[in-house]
């Protein structure tokens, strides 16, 4: 079977809040998520195809661009602050 490189294709990504607490119910915290995605897009690290922010988790369909490593880690580290 051939090796498949998923790095350059759209990916489904989910991140949840610890203990499913509804921290994303307020717009201030939603803005942190959105601003982080906008920053990564501006840096041309990602393409965002779709996202949804729920009160206790987020879903993304994004594509990490060539040459960018640890984008998921960077995104989670920034938004967790």
Q: pTM of this prediction?
A: 0.84
Q: pLDDT of 27-78, one tens digit each? A: 999 999 999 999 999 999 999 999 999 999 999 999 998 878 889 888 988 8
37 domain residue, yes or no: yes
58 domain residue, yes or no: yes
Q: pLDDT of 21-37, one tens digit each? A: 999 999 999 999 999 99
1 domain residue, yes or no: no
Number of domains in the chain: 1
Q: Which residues lie closer than 8 Å to 23 by C-beta, 6 or more apart?
A: 17, 29, 55, 56
CATH of residue 66: 3.30.70.1290
CA 31 to CA 69: how far, in whole Å?
24
Domain span at 21: 11-80
Torsion over CA of 16, 68, 52 and 30, rounded to 10 degrees? 70
């Amino acid at each position: 079977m051939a090796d498949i490189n998923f790095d350059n294709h759209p990916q489904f990504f989910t991140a949840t809040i610890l203990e499913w607490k509804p921290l994303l119910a307020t717009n201030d915290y939603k803005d942190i998520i959105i601003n982080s995605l906008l920053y990564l897009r501006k840096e041309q690290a990602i393409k965002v195809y779709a996202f949804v922010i729920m009160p206790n988790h987020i879903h993304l369909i994004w594509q990490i661009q060539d040459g960018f490593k640890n984008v998921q880690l960077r995104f989670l580290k920034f938004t967790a602050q």
